[in-house]
Amino acid sequence: MERIIENIKKQFPLQDVNSDHGWFITCEKKDVISLLTHLKITGGFTHLILITAVDWIEEDRFQLTYLLNNPQLKIRLGLRTFIERSVWPDESEMQSAHHLWPAVKTYQRELHEMFGIDFPGSPEVNDPLILEYWDDIPPYRRDFDTKKYSEETYFPREGRGSNDPAEYMKSQLYPNEGGKSQDFPQEISKKSSGEKNA
Amino acid sequence: MSWKDVLYPFSVWKNILKDPVTIRKPEEREGSSRYRGFHINDLEKCIGCGTCEEICQNAAIDLVPVEGIVAKPGDSGLRPRVDYGRCCWCALCVDICTTNSLGMSNKFRWSVEGENADKAIDREKFGSPDDYLFVIGAENKYWDNSEMGYRKPDNYDLTSPVRVNMDHLSALERQDSFIEMMKGYSKEQAQREADRCVECGICTAACPAHMGIPAYIKAVREDDMEEGLRILYETNPLPEICGRICTHKCETVCSIGNKGEPLSIRWLKRYIADNVPSEKYKEILGTDKIEQNGKKVAIVGSGPSGLSAAHYLAMMGYEVTIFEALPEAGGMMRYGIPEYRLPYDQIDKDVNYILSLGVTLKTNTMVGKEITLEQLKEQYDAVFAGTGLHMGRSTMLENADHKKVLQSIDLLRKIALGEDFYVPEKIVVIGGGNVAMDITRSLARIQRKKYGRVNITATCLEPHGGMLADEEEVVEAREEGATITPAYGPQRIDIVDDENLKGLEVAKCLAIFDKEGRFSPKFDLDDRQFYEADMIVESIGQGADLSYIPKQLNDNIEYSPRRQIVADPDFQVKNQPWLFVGGDIVKGPDVITGISNGHLAAVGIDRYLNKKED
């Protein structure tokens, strides 16, 4: 594997090589497609396992990972790159790799739907994969508020309703000390008042 | 259509006797060993902290009371109920669970039973979707005892199980002075520690003053010291003091303590108070101007309960006067706790703020001597007494009245007053509580300064590990050169003459209490030790000096079997509506309990005086 990495390094500028948990190399966004082509055609990495993304919201960037497999040598290699993270409703953009493997278009469709990363030219990239009539932030973006969306979108089941532990203990263990000017700070008490009853 | 087309379908019959190429559908398919199936919960382990509800991204979990489970310190009495219409099986609830009671079985089949259940439309008859709303572990589901399924892996935690240590002076740096030992948290340390809190609020009930602990820890996390200080003062007007020496009952129930070390709640409180300068208190707490109501309350004793009552009464507009027998305010906090644990300037910071609210402090004024309780009754609308336990209890051994057998509490007072007193080269302390450690460590410091070496032994009935003192007090006392010998009880004080002691004979203590739980120590008289001593210090408990209460009044006061004054929930004395009591003479003993009942008494006094007016 080290030799393969050395060979890649001769032809492509790599930003990082990491072998802590499997082999991962990182290159600039502009080099991704040519490096993928090189790995597939001459490197023997003929099998694309998957493409996935990580939302590094604090750093304003997405990480894309292309996981490849060399069936002859039975080795795997991950190719990582970082792309600018757009502020929704603007989409981030990445060059499409659908011409290298037919399955790529499905992953790119998924990334478009879930992260709001566009791959111009990729077939059917604008069609929803599993979400129908989605009108919120792409749900895998970390600024998507799952709980808020749940509360707004789904009807509450009958009979729901909760108790705040601190308030409940007060009512059970020291109800007579309520005369003190002790008010539970809003953040704590809202849990009990925000009953989820319909 | 040709004959071929008609006959072709029958050609597959040629396979009828061959082995199938597909596998048979299994009758019962097990979920994999780490499958995230239906939830399980160990109801005994669960403390109802609600962290599962808090983290759930789909609002699928409620906390509800469950029959047979009652709220008690450290357990809210609530248990999680999950709505499978919303659950997305992410298992965050399992990962965050503070007790590891939550898990997931590898079971995934659950259908509503009933005739023609598969055709069921009629909910009444065939069950409804609400059947999928259930209290985990409390409804006898077939997967309740499943060994398989998802559990939180051992190698990671969403909250750190390890507390952030506070920098402190080493034994070498501290052993010959009374400089404060614990240095306080830095901002980075405090925020890292605060980050471990899950805001469950289980601690609040355990705190005698029911402080808004999760809220002030949140203020630390958000670096909002002003908000933190406001929350502290809602329930506790002595945060610098409690931030250092509180008995922190909150920490013993902290939900994080179930899997790791509990939050350092006490140190975080100290961090807030340490980081607000005194001159900003009034502005932050909005106490620049308090409207007076023209009524007067006298307070006897300036310990925690008296100061607390004074603070909350002053906030309500009362004219408050505190009568203190000793030269400075603070009571046992100043005259009982050594300076290396609680520096005097920190007591002053808390006390001065309370005085700045218009409270008058009359020191060197002993009620019962300089002024009588009756006079206070005449001159004030109400009286609060929080006079504490300032009399040491004796072992009642023969020679215990020898002039070189002394009381720890008297010596601690002398040290705080800066009085010079006899500290010999060889000392024995009888007792194993925190006060015993305080006097042992204080005398060790003085011995080291005076003689360059320490020769002090503290001995107590309780065995190692069962001592009444905090573990760290024992460890630190030993680091400073003191000898602590648990599980030995005093047998005999040997004297040379009226002026000098020989020492103390002790025997191995086998049991402290009898079968009925009464104090009745059993000794192994074959295992004896003799500790040479020029001075013996008794530190086995304290009692109240209530001689300031006139006999006629005292006869009308009810006492509990533990010699504590019986008072109602407002801390008003039975049959004496003008008199309120607090602190160690009623409850406790500890500082935070005193603060709490001083606060409650202040509210009670206000209620009483308003009612009287009507």
Residue A196 lies in a domain: no
Chain centroid to CA A38 = 27
- Do residues A125 and A115 touch, judged by C-beta distance below 8 A? no
Percentage, residues of chain A above pLDDT 90: 73
pLDDT of B547 strictly over 90: yes
What 8-state DSSP symbol labels residue B432?
Answer: -
Does B6 map to a domain?
no
Question: B-chain residues within 8 Å CB-CB of A185?
Answer: 212, 215, 218, 231
pLDDT of residue A152: 84
Domain count along chain A:
1
pLDDT at residue B147 in the model: 93
Q: Which residues pair with B296 in a beta bridge?
A: B319
Together in a domain, B384 and B401: no
Q: Which of residues 266-305 of B touch A (CB under 8 A)?
A: none
- Same domain assignment for residues B398 and B503: yes
Residue A190 has pLDDT above 60, yes or no: no
| Residue B207 near residue B305 (C-beta atoms within 8 A) | no
The residues facing B103 across adjacent strands are: B40
A163 in a structural domain: no
Domain match, B319 and B237 both? no
The answer to whether residue A182 sits within a structural domain is no
Residues 6+ apart with CB under 8 A from B113: B127
Listed residues B220, B253, B283: the one ending a domain = B283
DSSP B114: S
Q: Is residue B34 part of a domain?
A: no
CA–chain centroid gap for B368, Å, is 35
Higher confidence at residue B153 or residue A156?
B153
The beta strand positions in B256-342, using DSSP E, are 296-300, 319-323
Do B271 and B320 fall into the same domain? no
- Asked if the structure places residue A195 within a domain, the reply is no
Identify the band that residue A195 occupies on the pLDDT scale cut at 50, 70 and 90: very low
Residue A182 has pLDDT above 60, yes or no: no
Question: CB of B245 within 8 A of CB of B591?
Answer: yes
Tell me the per-residue pLDDT of B522-535, one tens digit each, with 9 for 90 and over: 999 999 999 999 99
Query: What pLDDT does B122 receive?
Result: 54
CA distances from B206 to A122, B49, B70, B216, B218 (A): 61, 13, 15, 16, 19
Residue A178 reports pLDDT greater than 90: no
Q: Which of B575, B574, B576, B567 is nearest to B598 (CA)?
A: B567
**Which residues in A lie closer than 8 A to residue B86 (C-beta atoms)?**
150, 154, 157
Q: Of A173, A182, A187, which has the smallest distance from its Cβ to B205's Cβ?
A: A173
CB atoms B50 and A179 under 8 Å: no
Q: Closest approach of chain B CAs to the CA of A115, in angstroms?
A: 18
Helices marked H in B329-394: 332-335, 344-355, 373-379
How high is the pLDDT of residue A160? 86
Residue B212 structural domain: 177-283
Asked if residue B117 belongs to a domain, the reply is: yes
Q: Sorting pLDDT into bands at 50, 70 and 90, what band is B8?
A: confident
Residue B266 confidence (pLDDT): 97
Average pLDDT value for residue range A54-79: 96
Is B32 among the domain residues? no
Residue B49 touches chain A, beta carbons under 8 Å: yes
Lookup: tokens for B34: 């780490």
Which CATH number goes with the domain that contains B210? 1.10.1060.10
Give yes or no: residues B58 and B198 share one domain.
Answer: no
Torsion angle defined by CA atoms of residues A167, A169, A175 and A181, in that order, rounded to the nearest 10 degrees:
-40
Residues B402 and B535 in one domain: yes
Number of domains in chain B: 4
Prediction pTM value:
0.84
The mean of the pLDDT values for chain A is 87
Q: Is the pLDDT of residue B113 over 80?
A: no
**Residue tagged 């109602």 (tokens):** B568
Kindly state whether residues B537 and B398 are assigned to the same domain.
yes
* Centroid of chain to Cα A141: 6
B236 is written with which tokens? 């506790």
Are residues B459 and B528 located together in one domain of the fold? yes
Residue B230 located in a structural domain? yes
Close Cβ partners of B202 (under 8 Å, ≥ 6 residues apart):
A165, A166, A169, B47, B49, B74, B75, B76, B253, B254, B255
Nearest to B133 among A157, A163, A170 (CB): A157
pLDDT > 70? residue B119 = no
Q: Which residue has tokens 């007090």?
A: B473
**B234/A163 CB distance under 8 A:** no
Instruction: Verify whether the Cβ–Cβ distance B201 to A182 is below 8 Å.
Output: no
First to last CA, chain B: 109
pLDDT band of B114, cuts 50, 70, 90 = low
Which two tokens mark B12? Answer: 């597959």
Whether A62 is in a domain gets the answer: yes
| pLDDT beyond 90 at B50 | yes
- B202 touches B255 (CB < 8 A): yes
Q: Is A148 on the interface with B (CB under 8 A)?
A: no
Q: Which of B110, B135, B160 is the last residue of a domain?
A: B135
- Residue pLDDT, tens place only, B336-395: 999 999 999 999 999 999 999 999 999 999 999 999 999 999 999 999 999 999 999 999
Q: B157 in a domain, yes or no? A: no
Is the same domain home to B402 and B527?
yes
Are the C-beta atoms of B409 and B435 separated by less than 8 Å?
yes
The count of other CB atoms within 10 Å of the CB of residue B293 is 15
pLDDT tens column, B59-81: 899 999 999 999 999 999 999 99
In a domain, A166, yes or no: no
* Rounded distance between C-alpha atoms, residue B128 and residue B84, angstroms: 13
Of B599, B588, B601, B586, the closest CA to residue B333 belongs to: B588
Mean pLDDT of B539-554: 93
CB atoms within 10 A of CB B78: 27
- Inform me whether the C-beta atom of residue B86 falls under 8 Å from chain A C-beta atoms: yes
Q: What is the CATH number of the domain that holds A133?
A: 3.30.460.80
Structure tokens at B389: 């336990």
Question: What is the pLDDT, as a whole number, of residue A191?
Answer: 36
Determine the residue among B47, B57, B316 to mutate to test chain A binding: the one whose Cβ has the most chain A Cβ atoms within 10 Å. Answer: B57
- Other CB atoms within a 10 A radius of the CB of residue A172 amount to 16
**Beta-strand relationship, B501-513 and B519-532:** antiparallel
What are the tens digits of pLDDT across the range B486-534? 999 999 999 999 999 999 999 999 999 989 888 899 999 999 999 999 9
pLDDT in tens, B156-211: 899 999 999 999 999 999 999 999 999 999 999 999 999 999 999 999 999 999 99
Distance from C-alpha of A146 to C-alpha of B475, rounded to nearest angstrom: 49
Interval B296-305: pLDDT, tens: 999 999 999 9
Distance CA B545, CA B533 (A): 29
- CATH label of the domain that carries residue B509: 3.50.50.60
CA neighbours closer than 13 Å in the CB half-sphere of residue B573 = 24
Q: How far is CA B283 from the centre of its chain?
A: 30
Helix (H) or strand (E) holding B504: strand B501-513
- For residue B72, give the CATH number of its domain: 3.30.70.3270
Look at residue B127 in the predicted model and tell me its pLDDT: 55
- Sign, Cα dihedral of B396, B401, B405, B411: positive
What b-and-e string marks burial along A134-163, b requiring 16 or more CB atoms within 10 Å of the CB? eeebbebbeebeeeeebeeeeebbeebebb
Asked, for residue A191, whether it belongs to a domain, the answer is no
Structure tokens at A192: 């009990």
B64·A162 Cβ contact <8 A: yes
pLDDT digits (tens, 9 = 90+) for B430-483: 999 999 999 999 999 999 999 999 999 999 999 988 899 999 999 999 999 999
What is the domain extent for residue A48?
2-153
Of B25-39, B69-83, B255-269, the poorest mean pLDDT is in B25-39
Instruction: Tell me, yes or no, whether B343 and B278 share the same domain.
Output: no
Look at residues B168, B161, B347 and name the one whose alpha carbon lies nearest to residue B243: B347
Check if the beta carbon of residue B271 is closer than 8 Å to that of residue B340. Answer: no
Report the distance separating Cα A188 and Cα B212, nearest Å. Answer: 9
Q: Is residue B469 part of a domain?
A: yes
**Is residue A20, in this structure, part of any structural domain at all?**
yes
Do B536 and B448 sit in the same domain of this protein?
yes
- Cα–Cα distance, B404 to B205 (Å, whole number): 45
Residues B233 and B304 in one domain: no
Which tens digit of pLDDT belongs to each residue from A11-39? 999 999 999 999 999 999 999 999 999 99
- B77 contacts in A (CB within 8 Å)? 168-169, 172
CB contact under 8 Å between B72 and A173, yes or no, is: yes
Amino acid at B228: G
pLDDT confidence of residue A97 = 96
Q: Within the 153-192 window of chain A, which residues sit less than 8 Å (CB to CB) from chain B? A: 154, 157-170, 172-174, 176-177, 179-185, 187-188, 191
The token pair at B459 is 């001995």
Cα R_g (chain B), whole angstroms: 32
Closest partner residue to B76 (CB to CB) among A150, A154, A168 is: A168
Q: Indicate the pLDDT class of residue B25, thresholds 50, 70 and 90.
A: confident
- The count of other CB atoms within 10 Å of the CB of residue B540 is 22
Mean pLDDT taken over chain B:
93
**Percent over 90 (pLDDT), chain B:** 84
**Residue at B471 is within a domain:** yes
